[in-house]
A and B are shown apart, each in its own frame.
Chain A
Amino acid sequence: MKRFWAWAAIAFGMLYFILPLVGMTEFSLRMRRGVYSFDAYAKVLADPRFQETFSYSVMMAVFTIIFGVLLVVPTAYWVRLKLPRARPYVEFVTLLPLVIPAIVVVFGYIRLYNTSSWLPLTGSTLGTNILLMLGYATLSLPYMYRAVDTGLRTIDVTTLTEAAQSLGAGWATILGRLILPNVLVAVLSGAFVTLAIVMGEFTMAALLNRPAFGPYMQLLGANRAYEPAALAVIAFGITWACMGLIQLVARLAPKPATPVKD
Protein backbone atom coordinates (compact mmCIF):
# COMPACT_ATOMS: atom_id res chain seq x y z
CA MET A 1 0.00 0.00 0.00
CA LYS A 2 2.76 2.36 1.04
CA ARG A 3 4.70 1.41 -2.05
CA PHE A 4 1.67 2.14 -4.23
CA TRP A 5 1.40 5.69 -2.90
CA ALA A 6 5.15 6.18 -3.26
CA TRP A 7 4.98 5.15 -6.91
CA ALA A 8 1.94 7.37 -7.39
CA ALA A 9 3.77 10.41 -5.99
CA ILE A 10 6.81 9.81 -8.18
CA ALA A 11 4.69 9.15 -11.26
CA PHE A 12 2.60 12.27 -10.73
CA GLY A 13 5.74 14.37 -10.30
CA MET A 14 7.49 12.89 -13.30
CA LEU A 15 4.41 13.45 -15.46
CA TYR A 16 4.60 17.14 -14.60
CA PHE A 17 8.30 17.24 -15.48
CA ILE A 18 8.14 15.18 -18.64
CA LEU A 19 5.14 16.89 -20.28
CA PRO A 20 6.85 20.27 -20.85
CA LEU A 21 9.94 18.51 -22.17
CA VAL A 22 7.85 16.45 -24.57
CA GLY A 23 5.81 19.55 -25.37
CA MET A 24 8.79 21.67 -26.34
CA THR A 25 10.41 18.86 -28.31
CA GLU A 26 7.22 18.09 -30.23
CA PHE A 27 6.59 21.77 -30.88
CA SER A 28 10.12 22.31 -32.16
CA LEU A 29 9.53 19.60 -34.79
CA ARG A 30 6.24 21.03 -36.08
CA MET A 31 7.55 23.84 -38.28
CA ARG A 32 6.74 22.10 -41.56
CA ARG A 33 3.01 21.65 -41.91
CA GLY A 34 1.76 18.11 -41.50
CA VAL A 35 5.05 16.29 -40.87
CA TYR A 36 7.70 16.36 -38.20
CA SER A 37 10.94 17.92 -39.37
CA PHE A 38 14.10 19.53 -38.07
CA ASP A 39 13.39 22.74 -39.99
CA ALA A 40 13.27 24.87 -36.85
CA TYR A 41 16.68 23.60 -35.76
CA ALA A 42 18.14 24.20 -39.22
CA LYS A 43 16.74 27.73 -39.17
CA VAL A 44 18.16 28.44 -35.72
CA LEU A 45 21.58 26.92 -36.36
CA ALA A 46 21.92 28.80 -39.65
CA ASP A 47 21.01 32.12 -38.05
CA PRO A 48 24.21 34.23 -37.82
CA ARG A 49 22.81 35.91 -34.70
CA PHE A 50 22.58 32.49 -33.05
CA GLN A 51 26.20 31.72 -33.86
CA GLU A 52 27.36 35.15 -32.67
CA THR A 53 25.47 35.17 -29.39
CA PHE A 54 26.21 31.53 -28.66
CA SER A 55 29.95 31.91 -29.12
CA TYR A 56 29.87 35.19 -27.20
CA SER A 57 28.27 33.46 -24.22
CA VAL A 58 30.69 30.53 -24.42
CA MET A 59 33.60 32.98 -24.40
CA MET A 60 32.12 34.84 -21.45
CA ALA A 61 31.63 31.55 -19.60
CA VAL A 62 35.27 30.59 -20.19
CA PHE A 63 36.53 33.93 -18.87
CA THR A 64 34.14 33.79 -15.91
CA ILE A 65 35.38 30.31 -15.02
CA ILE A 66 39.05 31.35 -15.25
CA PHE A 67 38.41 34.43 -13.16
CA GLY A 68 36.32 32.45 -10.65
CA VAL A 69 39.01 29.78 -10.22
CA LEU A 70 41.78 32.37 -9.81
CA LEU A 71 39.69 34.17 -7.20
CA VAL A 72 38.06 31.33 -5.30
CA VAL A 73 40.78 28.67 -5.06
CA PRO A 74 43.42 30.88 -3.37
CA THR A 75 40.79 32.47 -1.13
CA ALA A 76 39.23 29.21 0.04
CA TYR A 77 42.69 27.72 0.50
CA TRP A 78 43.96 30.69 2.47
CA VAL A 79 40.88 30.74 4.70
CA ARG A 80 41.29 27.06 5.50
CA LEU A 81 45.01 27.40 6.10
CA LYS A 82 45.40 30.68 7.96
CA LEU A 83 42.04 32.16 8.85
CA PRO A 84 39.70 29.36 9.90
CA ARG A 85 37.93 31.79 12.19
CA ALA A 86 36.92 33.90 9.19
CA ARG A 87 35.36 30.96 7.39
CA PRO A 88 31.73 31.50 8.46
CA TYR A 89 31.95 35.16 7.45
CA VAL A 90 33.49 34.44 4.06
CA GLU A 91 30.96 31.69 3.48
CA PHE A 92 28.14 34.05 4.38
CA VAL A 93 29.39 36.64 1.89
CA THR A 94 29.64 34.03 -0.86
CA LEU A 95 25.98 33.15 -0.28
CA LEU A 96 24.82 36.75 -0.63
CA PRO A 97 24.31 36.52 -4.42
CA LEU A 98 21.49 34.08 -3.64
CA VAL A 99 19.88 36.73 -1.43
CA ILE A 100 20.36 39.85 -3.54
CA PRO A 101 18.48 39.47 -6.83
CA ALA A 102 20.70 39.73 -9.91
CA ILE A 103 18.53 42.52 -11.27
CA VAL A 104 19.37 44.66 -8.22
CA VAL A 105 23.12 44.01 -8.54
CA VAL A 106 23.17 44.94 -12.22
CA PHE A 107 21.06 48.03 -11.48
CA GLY A 108 23.81 49.05 -9.08
CA TYR A 109 26.48 48.37 -11.73
CA ILE A 110 24.71 50.62 -14.22
CA ARG A 111 24.59 53.48 -11.74
CA LEU A 112 27.99 52.94 -10.14
CA TYR A 113 30.11 52.29 -13.22
CA ASN A 114 28.47 54.55 -15.81
CA THR A 115 30.38 56.92 -18.06
CA SER A 116 30.43 59.77 -15.53
CA SER A 117 31.71 57.69 -12.61
CA TRP A 118 35.24 57.10 -11.27
CA LEU A 119 35.42 53.72 -13.00
CA PRO A 120 33.54 54.19 -16.31
CA LEU A 121 33.31 50.51 -17.24
CA THR A 122 30.09 50.85 -19.22
CA GLY A 123 31.71 53.50 -21.43
CA SER A 124 33.44 51.01 -23.70
CA THR A 125 32.60 47.60 -25.12
CA LEU A 126 35.57 45.97 -23.45
CA GLY A 127 34.68 47.60 -20.12
CA THR A 128 31.09 46.41 -20.35
CA ASN A 129 32.25 42.90 -21.20
CA ILE A 130 34.51 42.93 -18.16
CA LEU A 131 31.67 44.22 -16.00
CA LEU A 132 29.35 41.49 -17.29
CA MET A 133 32.03 38.87 -16.64
CA LEU A 134 32.41 40.14 -13.08
CA GLY A 135 28.62 40.05 -12.71
CA TYR A 136 28.55 36.43 -13.87
CA ALA A 137 31.35 35.72 -11.40
CA THR A 138 29.19 37.01 -8.53
CA LEU A 139 26.26 34.87 -9.73
CA SER A 140 28.38 31.73 -9.75
CA LEU A 141 30.27 32.60 -6.53
CA PRO A 142 27.98 30.58 -4.18
CA TYR A 143 28.38 27.41 -6.25
CA MET A 144 32.07 27.84 -7.05
CA TYR A 145 33.03 28.59 -3.45
CA ARG A 146 31.04 25.75 -1.94
CA ALA A 147 32.38 23.27 -4.50
CA VAL A 148 36.02 24.28 -3.92
CA ASP A 149 35.61 24.46 -0.14
CA THR A 150 34.09 20.97 -0.09
CA GLY A 151 36.99 19.77 -2.21
CA LEU A 152 39.51 21.29 0.20
CA ARG A 153 37.81 19.50 3.09
CA THR A 154 38.89 16.14 1.67
CA ILE A 155 42.62 17.00 1.74
CA ASP A 156 44.90 17.92 4.62
CA VAL A 157 45.73 21.48 3.61
CA THR A 158 48.11 22.24 6.47
CA THR A 159 50.27 19.12 6.15
CA LEU A 160 50.47 19.39 2.37
CA THR A 161 51.49 23.03 2.60
CA GLU A 162 54.16 22.36 5.20
CA ALA A 163 55.53 19.44 3.21
CA ALA A 164 55.72 21.59 0.09
CA GLN A 165 57.31 24.46 1.96
CA SER A 166 59.98 22.26 3.50
CA LEU A 167 60.81 21.13 -0.04
CA GLY A 168 61.23 24.77 -0.98
CA ALA A 169 58.00 25.50 -2.84
CA GLY A 170 56.68 29.05 -3.05
CA TRP A 171 53.03 30.07 -2.83
CA ALA A 172 52.49 29.98 -6.60
CA THR A 173 53.89 26.45 -6.81
CA ILE A 174 51.82 25.31 -3.83
CA LEU A 175 48.60 26.68 -5.31
CA GLY A 176 49.21 25.72 -8.91
CA ARG A 177 50.90 22.36 -8.60
CA LEU A 178 49.61 21.05 -5.29
CA ILE A 179 46.25 22.51 -4.27
CA LEU A 180 44.66 22.97 -7.71
CA PRO A 181 45.30 19.39 -8.92
CA ASN A 182 43.97 18.08 -5.62
CA VAL A 183 40.69 19.98 -5.87
CA LEU A 184 40.39 19.69 -9.65
CA VAL A 185 37.20 17.65 -9.47
CA ALA A 186 35.57 20.25 -7.25
CA VAL A 187 36.81 23.06 -9.48
CA LEU A 188 35.43 21.32 -12.56
CA SER A 189 32.02 20.83 -10.99
CA GLY A 190 31.96 24.50 -10.05
CA ALA A 191 33.04 25.32 -13.61
CA PHE A 192 30.18 23.37 -15.18
CA VAL A 193 27.61 25.02 -12.93
CA THR A 194 29.09 28.36 -13.98
CA LEU A 195 28.83 27.36 -17.63
CA ALA A 196 25.16 26.45 -17.19
CA ILE A 197 24.47 29.74 -15.40
CA VAL A 198 26.24 31.92 -17.96
CA MET A 199 24.69 30.22 -20.99
CA GLY A 200 21.17 30.83 -19.75
CA GLU A 201 21.62 34.19 -18.03
CA PHE A 202 19.30 36.88 -19.29
CA THR A 203 18.90 39.79 -16.88
CA MET A 204 22.45 41.09 -16.58
CA ALA A 205 23.30 40.71 -20.27
CA ALA A 206 20.04 42.35 -21.35
CA LEU A 207 20.40 45.34 -19.01
CA LEU A 208 24.06 45.82 -19.94
CA ASN A 209 23.10 45.54 -23.62
CA ARG A 210 25.52 42.77 -24.49
CA PRO A 211 24.76 40.31 -27.33
CA ALA A 212 24.57 37.20 -25.16
CA PHE A 213 22.63 34.00 -25.73
CA GLY A 214 19.94 34.70 -23.12
CA PRO A 215 18.70 38.01 -24.59
CA TYR A 216 18.87 36.48 -28.07
CA MET A 217 16.58 33.66 -26.98
CA GLN A 218 14.16 36.15 -25.45
CA LEU A 219 14.12 38.27 -28.60
CA LEU A 220 13.49 35.24 -30.78
CA GLY A 221 10.73 34.12 -28.44
CA ALA A 222 8.94 37.41 -28.85
CA ASN A 223 9.01 37.22 -32.65
CA ARG A 224 8.89 33.59 -33.78
CA ALA A 225 6.77 30.52 -33.11
CA TYR A 226 8.75 27.31 -33.61
CA GLU A 227 12.38 28.41 -33.33
CA PRO A 228 12.10 29.23 -29.60
CA ALA A 229 11.06 25.65 -28.88
CA ALA A 230 14.11 24.41 -30.77
CA LEU A 231 16.25 26.82 -28.73
CA ALA A 232 14.67 25.52 -25.52
CA VAL A 233 15.61 21.96 -26.50
CA ILE A 234 19.18 23.09 -27.21
CA ALA A 235 19.37 24.99 -23.91
CA PHE A 236 18.02 22.01 -22.01
CA GLY A 237 20.64 19.88 -23.70
CA ILE A 238 23.36 22.27 -22.52
CA THR A 239 22.10 22.21 -18.92
CA TRP A 240 21.85 18.43 -19.03
CA ALA A 241 25.35 18.12 -20.46
CA CYS A 242 26.80 20.39 -17.76
CA MET A 243 25.18 18.39 -14.97
CA GLY A 244 26.10 15.11 -16.62
CA LEU A 245 29.74 16.21 -16.87
CA ILE A 246 29.74 17.07 -13.16
CA GLN A 247 28.54 13.55 -12.32
CA LEU A 248 31.03 12.02 -14.72
CA VAL A 249 33.96 13.98 -13.32
CA ALA A 250 32.94 13.12 -9.77
CA ARG A 251 32.75 9.43 -10.67
CA LEU A 252 36.10 9.38 -12.44
CA ALA A 253 37.85 11.03 -9.52
CA PRO A 254 40.02 8.75 -7.38
CA LYS A 255 38.57 10.20 -4.18
CA PRO A 256 34.99 11.18 -4.97
CA ALA A 257 34.15 14.66 -3.78
CA THR A 258 30.44 15.09 -4.38
CA PRO A 259 29.47 18.53 -5.61
CA VAL A 260 27.48 20.34 -2.96
CA LYS A 261 24.64 22.35 -4.42
CA ASP A 262 21.86 23.58 -2.24
Chain B
Amino acid sequence: MTLQRPHETPPPGHVPLRQRLPLDWLGLVPFLAFVTLFLLAPTMYIVIGAFRSAGGGFTLDNIIGLNTASIRSAYWVSIKISLASASLGCLVGFLMAAAMTLGGLPKAVRGPLLTFSGVASNFAGVPLAFAFLATLGPIGLVTVFLKSNLGIDLRLLGFNILSFWGLTITYLFFQIPLMILIITPALDGLKREWREAAEILGATGPQYWRMVAFPILFPAILGTMALLFANAFGAVATAIALTGSSLNIVPILLFAQIRGDVLGDPHLGYALAFGMIVVTGIANTIYIVLRARSERWQK
Protein backbone atom coordinates (compact mmCIF):
# COMPACT_ATOMS: atom_id res chain seq x y z
CA MET B 1 0.00 0.00 0.00
CA THR B 2 1.03 3.57 -0.53
CA LEU B 3 0.58 4.23 3.16
CA GLN B 4 3.94 2.67 4.05
CA ARG B 5 6.94 4.88 4.38
CA PRO B 6 9.57 3.99 1.81
CA HIS B 7 12.27 2.96 4.27
CA GLU B 8 9.83 0.55 5.85
CA THR B 9 9.14 -1.27 2.62
CA PRO B 10 11.06 -4.51 3.04
CA PRO B 11 12.48 -6.24 -0.02
CA PRO B 12 10.19 -9.08 -1.08
CA GLY B 13 10.92 -12.44 0.47
CA HIS B 14 13.28 -11.06 3.05
CA VAL B 15 11.61 -9.59 6.13
CA PRO B 16 13.87 -8.88 9.08
CA LEU B 17 12.16 -10.31 12.13
CA ARG B 18 13.19 -7.54 14.50
CA GLN B 19 11.49 -4.80 12.45
CA ARG B 20 8.16 -3.67 13.83
CA LEU B 21 5.25 -4.23 11.52
CA PRO B 22 3.69 -0.93 10.47
CA LEU B 23 0.34 -0.97 12.24
CA ASP B 24 -0.54 2.71 11.95
CA TRP B 25 -2.96 2.04 9.12
CA LEU B 26 -5.18 0.11 11.56
CA GLY B 27 -6.50 3.46 12.77
CA LEU B 28 -8.04 3.99 9.35
CA VAL B 29 -9.96 0.71 9.34
CA PRO B 30 -13.33 2.10 10.56
CA PHE B 31 -13.21 4.89 8.02
CA LEU B 32 -12.16 2.61 5.17
CA ALA B 33 -14.82 0.06 6.09
CA PHE B 34 -17.53 2.72 6.11
CA VAL B 35 -16.44 4.28 2.85
CA THR B 36 -16.05 0.91 1.15
CA LEU B 37 -19.39 -0.48 2.28
CA PHE B 38 -21.56 2.59 1.88
CA LEU B 39 -19.94 4.62 -0.86
CA LEU B 40 -17.57 2.64 -3.07
CA ALA B 41 -19.22 -0.80 -3.11
CA PRO B 42 -22.71 0.51 -3.97
CA THR B 43 -21.25 2.64 -6.74
CA MET B 44 -19.13 -0.21 -8.08
CA TYR B 45 -22.17 -2.48 -8.01
CA ILE B 46 -23.99 -0.06 -10.30
CA VAL B 47 -20.98 0.35 -12.59
CA ILE B 48 -20.46 -3.39 -12.90
CA GLY B 49 -24.20 -3.92 -13.34
CA ALA B 50 -24.07 -1.61 -16.33
CA PHE B 51 -21.75 -4.07 -18.08
CA ARG B 52 -23.50 -7.26 -17.01
CA SER B 53 -26.16 -9.12 -18.92
CA ALA B 54 -29.21 -10.71 -17.29
CA GLY B 55 -27.31 -14.02 -17.32
CA GLY B 56 -24.32 -12.52 -15.50
CA GLY B 57 -21.82 -12.32 -18.38
CA PHE B 58 -20.04 -9.26 -19.68
CA THR B 59 -21.97 -7.22 -22.22
CA LEU B 60 -22.08 -3.81 -23.80
CA ASP B 61 -25.75 -4.19 -24.67
CA ASN B 62 -26.88 -2.07 -21.70
CA ILE B 63 -24.71 0.85 -22.75
CA ILE B 64 -25.83 0.46 -26.35
CA GLY B 65 -29.40 0.18 -25.09
CA LEU B 66 -29.15 3.78 -23.83
CA ASN B 67 -29.18 4.88 -27.45
CA THR B 68 -32.94 5.29 -27.74
CA ALA B 69 -34.66 8.50 -28.72
CA SER B 70 -36.14 9.08 -25.26
CA ILE B 71 -32.97 8.39 -23.23
CA ARG B 72 -30.82 10.35 -25.69
CA SER B 73 -33.10 13.32 -25.35
CA ALA B 74 -33.12 12.97 -21.55
CA TYR B 75 -29.31 13.21 -21.48
CA TRP B 76 -29.34 16.04 -23.99
CA VAL B 77 -31.89 18.12 -22.06
CA SER B 78 -30.01 17.42 -18.80
CA ILE B 79 -26.71 18.49 -20.30
CA LYS B 80 -28.27 21.61 -21.81
CA ILE B 81 -29.86 22.65 -18.50
CA SER B 82 -26.64 21.97 -16.63
CA LEU B 83 -24.59 23.92 -19.17
CA ALA B 84 -27.00 26.85 -19.24
CA SER B 85 -27.28 27.10 -15.45
CA ALA B 86 -23.52 26.59 -14.98
CA SER B 87 -22.49 29.25 -17.49
CA LEU B 88 -25.10 31.78 -16.37
CA GLY B 89 -24.30 31.01 -12.74
CA CYS B 90 -20.61 31.57 -13.47
CA LEU B 91 -21.24 34.85 -15.27
CA VAL B 92 -23.59 36.40 -12.71
CA GLY B 93 -21.67 34.98 -9.76
CA PHE B 94 -18.40 36.32 -11.14
CA LEU B 95 -19.84 39.79 -11.73
CA MET B 96 -21.26 39.90 -8.22
CA ALA B 97 -18.05 38.62 -6.63
CA ALA B 98 -15.96 41.05 -8.69
CA ALA B 99 -18.25 43.92 -7.72
CA MET B 100 -17.90 42.90 -4.09
CA THR B 101 -14.11 42.47 -4.02
CA LEU B 102 -12.86 44.99 -6.57
CA GLY B 103 -15.75 47.39 -7.12
CA GLY B 104 -14.92 49.74 -4.27
CA LEU B 105 -18.07 48.92 -2.34
CA PRO B 106 -18.21 49.50 1.42
CA LYS B 107 -16.83 46.65 3.52
CA ALA B 108 -20.27 46.14 5.02
CA VAL B 109 -21.49 44.52 1.79
CA ARG B 110 -19.03 41.66 1.91
CA GLY B 111 -19.91 39.81 5.10
CA PRO B 112 -23.68 39.66 4.58
CA LEU B 113 -23.30 38.72 0.92
CA LEU B 114 -20.97 35.82 1.74
CA THR B 115 -23.21 34.65 4.57
CA PHE B 116 -26.22 34.85 2.30
CA SER B 117 -24.34 32.87 -0.36
CA GLY B 118 -23.64 30.16 2.20
CA VAL B 119 -27.34 29.92 2.98
CA ALA B 120 -28.60 30.13 -0.60
CA SER B 121 -26.15 27.56 -1.93
CA ASN B 122 -27.59 25.15 0.64
CA PHE B 123 -31.18 26.11 -0.06
CA ALA B 124 -31.81 23.58 -2.80
CA GLY B 125 -34.22 20.75 -3.28
CA VAL B 126 -37.94 20.69 -2.65
CA PRO B 127 -38.43 24.06 -0.87
CA LEU B 128 -36.51 25.89 -3.59
CA ALA B 129 -38.94 24.53 -6.16
CA PHE B 130 -41.86 25.78 -4.03
CA ALA B 131 -40.32 29.23 -3.78
CA PHE B 132 -40.04 29.53 -7.56
CA LEU B 133 -43.52 28.12 -8.14
CA ALA B 134 -44.87 30.79 -5.78
CA THR B 135 -42.94 33.44 -7.69
CA LEU B 136 -42.96 32.51 -11.37
CA GLY B 137 -45.71 29.88 -11.41
CA PRO B 138 -49.07 30.53 -13.10
CA ILE B 139 -50.41 32.52 -10.11
CA GLY B 140 -47.02 33.47 -8.67
CA LEU B 141 -46.09 36.90 -7.40
CA VAL B 142 -44.05 38.08 -10.39
CA THR B 143 -46.33 36.50 -12.98
CA VAL B 144 -49.41 38.21 -11.53
CA PHE B 145 -47.61 41.52 -11.04
CA LEU B 146 -46.36 41.63 -14.63
CA LYS B 147 -49.77 40.72 -15.98
CA SER B 148 -51.93 43.10 -13.97
CA ASN B 149 -49.58 46.08 -13.75
CA LEU B 150 -47.54 46.02 -16.93
CA GLY B 151 -49.75 43.93 -19.18
CA ILE B 152 -46.99 41.39 -19.83
CA ASP B 153 -48.31 37.86 -19.97
CA LEU B 154 -45.38 35.51 -19.36
CA ARG B 155 -47.34 32.57 -20.67
CA LEU B 156 -48.04 34.28 -23.98
CA LEU B 157 -44.32 35.02 -24.23
CA GLY B 158 -43.78 31.29 -24.07
CA PHE B 159 -42.39 31.18 -20.53
CA ASN B 160 -43.36 28.26 -18.37
CA ILE B 161 -41.76 27.43 -15.03
CA LEU B 162 -42.05 23.71 -15.85
CA SER B 163 -39.66 23.99 -18.75
CA PHE B 164 -36.02 24.19 -19.72
CA TRP B 165 -35.72 27.88 -18.82
CA GLY B 166 -37.86 27.53 -15.72
CA LEU B 167 -35.57 24.84 -14.37
CA THR B 168 -32.46 26.78 -15.37
CA ILE B 169 -33.62 29.95 -13.60
CA THR B 170 -34.45 27.90 -10.50
CA TYR B 171 -31.06 26.16 -10.47
CA LEU B 172 -29.35 29.56 -10.65
CA PHE B 173 -30.52 30.17 -7.09
CA PHE B 174 -27.91 27.74 -5.77
CA GLN B 175 -25.44 28.04 -8.67
CA ILE B 176 -24.73 31.78 -8.36
CA PRO B 177 -23.97 31.68 -4.60
CA LEU B 178 -21.71 28.66 -5.07
CA MET B 179 -19.77 30.57 -7.73
CA ILE B 180 -19.48 33.59 -5.42
CA LEU B 181 -18.16 31.40 -2.58
CA ILE B 182 -15.55 29.67 -4.73
CA ILE B 183 -14.36 32.56 -6.89
CA THR B 184 -14.02 35.17 -4.13
CA PRO B 185 -10.73 33.76 -2.78
CA ALA B 186 -9.35 33.75 -6.33
CA LEU B 187 -10.37 37.39 -6.81
CA ASP B 188 -8.85 38.28 -3.45
CA GLY B 189 -5.66 36.66 -4.68
CA LEU B 190 -5.26 39.17 -7.51
CA LYS B 191 -2.34 41.22 -6.27
CA ARG B 192 -2.46 44.97 -6.39
CA GLU B 193 1.13 44.96 -7.69
CA TRP B 194 0.06 43.22 -10.88
CA ARG B 195 -2.43 45.94 -11.64
CA GLU B 196 0.08 48.67 -10.80
CA ALA B 197 2.78 47.02 -12.89
CA ALA B 198 0.37 46.79 -15.82
CA GLU B 199 -0.62 50.44 -15.43
CA ILE B 200 3.00 51.60 -15.28
CA LEU B 201 3.60 49.77 -18.53
CA GLY B 202 0.69 51.75 -19.99
CA ALA B 203 -2.13 49.20 -19.88
CA THR B 204 -5.71 50.43 -19.86
CA GLY B 205 -8.31 48.88 -17.57
CA PRO B 206 -9.73 46.51 -20.21
CA GLN B 207 -6.20 45.58 -21.30
CA TYR B 208 -5.27 44.69 -17.71
CA TRP B 209 -8.34 42.49 -17.45
CA ARG B 210 -7.86 40.85 -20.84
CA MET B 211 -4.12 40.24 -20.61
CA VAL B 212 -3.38 39.85 -16.87
CA ALA B 213 -6.32 39.22 -14.59
CA PHE B 214 -8.46 37.07 -16.84
CA PRO B 215 -5.70 34.59 -17.84
CA ILE B 216 -4.90 34.16 -14.13
CA LEU B 217 -8.54 33.66 -13.19
CA PHE B 218 -9.42 31.54 -16.21
CA PRO B 219 -8.61 28.11 -14.70
CA ALA B 220 -10.55 28.99 -11.57
CA ILE B 221 -13.56 30.17 -13.56
CA LEU B 222 -13.60 27.20 -15.91
CA GLY B 223 -13.02 24.77 -13.03
CA THR B 224 -15.87 26.21 -11.02
CA MET B 225 -18.07 26.02 -14.08
CA ALA B 226 -17.35 22.29 -14.30
CA LEU B 227 -18.29 21.94 -10.63
CA LEU B 228 -21.53 23.86 -11.17
CA PHE B 229 -22.27 21.66 -14.16
CA ALA B 230 -21.96 18.49 -12.06
CA ASN B 231 -23.97 20.14 -9.31
CA ALA B 232 -26.89 20.80 -11.66
CA PHE B 233 -26.61 17.47 -13.42
CA GLY B 234 -27.06 15.49 -10.21
CA ALA B 235 -29.88 17.65 -8.80
CA VAL B 236 -32.88 15.38 -8.36
CA ALA B 237 -35.16 16.86 -5.72
CA THR B 238 -35.55 20.33 -7.20
CA ALA B 239 -36.42 18.90 -10.60
CA ILE B 240 -38.95 16.41 -9.27
CA ALA B 241 -40.64 18.89 -6.94
CA LEU B 242 -40.80 21.50 -9.69
CA THR B 243 -41.89 19.51 -12.69
CA GLY B 244 -43.17 16.20 -11.33
CA SER B 245 -42.37 13.87 -14.17
CA SER B 246 -43.33 16.23 -16.98
CA LEU B 247 -39.77 17.05 -17.98
CA ASN B 248 -37.69 14.23 -19.42
CA ILE B 249 -34.27 14.64 -17.79
CA VAL B 250 -31.84 11.96 -16.58
CA PRO B 251 -32.26 12.27 -12.78
CA ILE B 252 -36.06 12.14 -13.06
CA LEU B 253 -35.90 9.20 -15.46
CA LEU B 254 -33.52 7.33 -13.14
CA PHE B 255 -35.72 8.08 -10.13
CA ALA B 256 -38.74 6.65 -11.93
CA GLN B 257 -36.68 3.67 -13.06
CA ILE B 258 -35.54 2.84 -9.50
CA ARG B 259 -39.10 3.22 -8.20
CA GLY B 260 -40.86 1.15 -10.81
CA ASP B 261 -38.60 -0.04 -13.62
CA VAL B 262 -40.23 2.22 -16.22
CA LEU B 263 -37.66 1.20 -18.80
CA GLY B 264 -38.66 -2.45 -18.42
CA ASP B 265 -35.05 -3.59 -18.00
CA PRO B 266 -33.19 -3.33 -14.67
CA HIS B 267 -29.81 -3.40 -16.36
CA LEU B 268 -30.75 -0.37 -18.43
CA GLY B 269 -31.19 1.41 -15.08
CA TYR B 270 -27.59 0.58 -14.15
CA ALA B 271 -26.41 1.89 -17.50
CA LEU B 272 -28.41 5.11 -16.99
CA ALA B 273 -26.82 5.60 -13.55
CA PHE B 274 -23.39 4.76 -14.96
CA GLY B 275 -23.88 7.47 -17.57
CA MET B 276 -24.58 9.96 -14.78
CA ILE B 277 -21.38 8.99 -12.97
CA VAL B 278 -19.41 9.38 -16.21
CA VAL B 279 -20.77 12.89 -16.85
CA THR B 280 -20.31 14.16 -13.27
CA GLY B 281 -16.96 12.35 -13.08
CA ILE B 282 -15.63 14.14 -16.16
CA ALA B 283 -16.90 17.49 -14.90
CA ASN B 284 -15.29 16.99 -11.49
CA THR B 285 -11.98 15.85 -12.97
CA ILE B 286 -11.90 19.08 -14.97
CA TYR B 287 -12.62 20.98 -11.76
CA ILE B 288 -9.86 19.28 -9.75
CA VAL B 289 -7.23 19.67 -12.49
CA LEU B 290 -8.06 23.33 -13.10
CA ARG B 291 -8.27 24.12 -9.39
CA ALA B 292 -4.76 22.81 -8.88
CA ARG B 293 -3.61 25.04 -11.73
CA SER B 294 -5.40 28.13 -10.42
CA GLU B 295 -4.04 27.70 -6.89
CA ARG B 296 -0.53 28.25 -8.21
CA TRP B 297 -1.24 31.98 -8.14
CA GLN B 298 -2.72 32.08 -4.69
CA LYS B 299 0.44 31.25 -2.81
Contact = CB atoms under 8 A, between A and B. Distances in A.
A24 B40 CA distance: 39
Interface in A89-145: 89-90, 93, 96-112, 134-135, 137-138, 141
A107 B269 CA distance: 9
Contacts of A5: 99, 103
B60 interface: no
Nearest to B284: A99
* A contact patch SS: helix
A28 B127 CA distance: 12
A58 interface: no
A23 B141 contact: yes
A101 B127 contact: no
B42 to A, nearest CB: 2
Interface residues of B, number: 81
Contacts of A246: 118
Interface stretch (A71-79, A152-160, A179-187): A71-79
B28 A86 contact: yes
A71 B276 contact: no
B113 A78 contact: no
Contacts of B63: none
A207 interface: yes
Nearest to A26: B141
Contact of B122 (A134, A243, A262): A243
Contacts of A109: 38, 42
A111 B49 CA distance: 10
A102 B34 contact: no
A71 B30 contact: yes
A243 B114 CA distance: 11
B160 interface: no
B173 A17 contact: yes
Contact of B181 (A24, A99, A244, A261): A261
Contact of A214 (B99, B119, B125, B269): B125
A244 B136 CA distance: 28
A7 B266 CA distance: 53
Given A20-B131, A86-B28, A235-B127, A262 B182 contact: yes
Contact of B118 (A83, A86, A236, A261): A261
B213 interface: no
A134 B38 contact: yes
A161 B170 CA distance: 49
B142 interface: yes
Among all A-B residue pairs, the 3 with the closest Cβ atoms: A108-B42, A6-B103, A23-B135
Interface of A: 2-3, 5-10, 12-13, 16-17, 19-24, 26-28, 71-72, 74-75, 78-79, 82-83, 85-86, 89-90, 93, 96-112, 134-135, 137-138, 141, 193, 196-197, 200-203, 206-207, 214, 217-218, 221-222, 228-229, 231-232, 235-236, 239-240, 242-244, 246-247, 261-262
Interface of B: 2-3, 5, 24-25, 27-28, 30-31, 34-35, 38-46, 49, 92, 95-96, 98-100, 102-105, 109, 113, 115-116, 118-120, 122-136, 140-142, 172-173, 176, 181-182, 230, 233-234, 236-237, 240-241, 244, 251, 254-255, 258-259, 269, 273, 276-277, 280-281, 284
Given A75-B27, A86-B3, A221-B126, 11 more contacts: A7-B99, A99-B284, A102-B236, A103-B258, A110-B258, A134-B38, A138-B38, A200-B122, A200-B127, A214-B126, A221-B129
